[in-house]
Amino acid sequence: MINKRVFHLDNIITHQYIKHPLTTLTQFNRNPRPWHMPLFVAFAISFPVMVGAYLGDLRMGLLASLGAMVILNLPYTGSLLSRMTTVLACSFGMVACFAVGLVAHNVPILTIPLMFFVTFWCTLFSRYYKLPPPAGLFIIMASAIALFMPAPVSQIPQLIGVVALGALFAGMVACFYALLLIYNEPVLPVKAPMPVQVILGDTLIVSAFIALSLLLALWLEMPKPYWVPMSCYVIMQGMNFQSIWIKQIHRIVGTAIGMLLAWLLLSVHLSDMGVALGIFGMMFCIETFVVRHYGVAVIFITPLTIFLAEYSAVQPTAISEIIVTRFWDTVLGCLMGVLGGIVILSPIVRQKLQVIVDKVVAKLPI
């Protein structure tokens, strides 16, 4: 009898965490998004790079493109005012968190505390207003990239201004696109915010594991490990452990294939305008596939992130080193994300933490 139960348990575990996740690698979901949405997003994010390429300053174009990522937070429900308010708030968050990252780069002792600070407020804001994916991912990514961006103090205002210009341009494109959406589609009501005490516990756990993942990467002396907290954050957004496990597999497999694509693109030595067109194509593919198959989207997210963060400084002899390093960043981030998912989904941890949160919130004027 005991052997039968053990065998049955083994079958369940094998199906849920090996067979089913591997099956999802070949499954595509239906696309609920309009066909023109990826075009607008790809244009908004790649146009600053085109301007930078035309003016002969690709580095600033890539930096402005990072700020333009806020267009990904454009909601598809609500009035024009509520949609643009969300984009504006995310733009302020993008610029502020990027600035925080630059400050932490020049004051290394602040790296981990500020990473916790940025993740906490991004996660709290995203969950409070129920922002759909990517939620605060690219805001956290901007801060993580800035943490390892070699920039003297005298250049910080200029770099912040470039990111702000990219966010401003994305806001203009988002406004135009939102007008088209509202004209062609019915306006759906905006979801009511969640109570702070309900989401505060989860937010603390997510922030702690993001900071811990970065601390571990620095302890292991990984070079520029900005990808570690990003991967950890993505994995911890799963609704249950099975979704967390599946997303981890998709991210690792997608990253491995994406590294090959990144190596190919870096090896052909694209012109500046070729880089801009490549970012347009990758962004279009990401927005087309991200709702249909996350693993396929990650194939293009990988080289896109490398282009935005490192293309202007990469040396031809260091391409293979960058590819291998970013892969291990992803593996470490995913493992920390799974560990964080186990903690955040643990009823015992949640109950004890919720008791503490309720006591603290009861004393606050909120």
Q: What is the pTM of this model?
A: 0.86
Is 174:74 a contact under the CB 8 Å cutoff? yes
Q: Taking Cα atoms as reference points, which of 189, 164, 190 lies closest to residue 70?
A: 164
Asked whether residue 351 carries a pLDDT value surpassing 50, the answer given is yes
Strand stretches in the chain, DSSP E:
none
Specify the residue for token string 């994995």. Answer: 235
pLDDT digits (tens, 9 = 90+) for 150-172: 888 889 999 999 999 999 999 99
- What pLDDT was estimated at residue 361? 64
* 119 against 316, higher pLDDT: 119
Report the percentage of the chain scoring pLDDT > 70: 82
9 in a structural domain: no
* Close Cβ partners of 196 (under 8 Å, ≥ 6 residues apart): 124, 128, 361, 366
Domain limits at 271? 33-362
Phi and psi based region of residue 221 (left: phi greater than 0; alpha: psi -120 to 50; beta: remaining): left
Q: What is the dihedral of CA 285, 290, 292, 294, to 10 degrees?
A: 110
Supply 96's token pair: 């502020």
7 in a structural domain: no
Supply 345's token pair: 């989904």
340 in a structural domain: yes
Q: Taking Cα atoms as reference points, which of 212, 225, 214, 208 lies closest to residue 120?
A: 208
pLDDT digits (tens, 9 = 90+) for 84-111: 899 999 999 999 999 999 988 888 899 9
83 in a structural domain: yes
pLDDT digits (tens, 9 = 90+) for 219-239: 999 888 988 999 899 888 866
Q: How far apart are CA 1 and CA 49, in angstroms?
A: 65
- What pLDDT was estimated at residue 7? 45
170 in a structural domain: yes
Number of domains comprising the chain: 1
Q: How far apart are CA 63 and CA 60, in angstroms?
A: 5
Mean pLDDT, residues 354-360 taken together: 72
Is 298:194 a contact under the CB 8 Å cutoff? no
295 in a structural domain: yes
Per-residue burial over 13-42, b = 16 or more CB atoms within 10 Å of its CB, e = otherwise: eeeeeeeebeebeeeeeeeeeeeebbbbbb
Asked whether residue 175 carries a pLDDT value surpassing 60, the answer given is yes
Between the alpha carbon of residue 261 and those of residues 55, 254, 266, 340, the distances in Å are 27, 11, 9, 30
Q: How far apart are CA 286 and CA 294, in angstroms?
A: 9
The angle at the Cα of 240, spanning 237 to 241, to the nearest 5 degrees, equals 95
325 in a structural domain: yes
Q: Taking Cα atoms as reference points, which of 336, 279, 289, 308 lies closest to residue 138?
A: 308
26 in a structural domain: no
Cα 94 from chain centroid (whole Å)? 12
The total number of residues written for the chain in this structure: 366
Mean pLDDT, residues 261-276 taken together: 88
Asked whether residue 217 carries a pLDDT value surpassing 60, the answer given is yes
Is 217:228 a contact under the CB 8 Å cutoff? yes
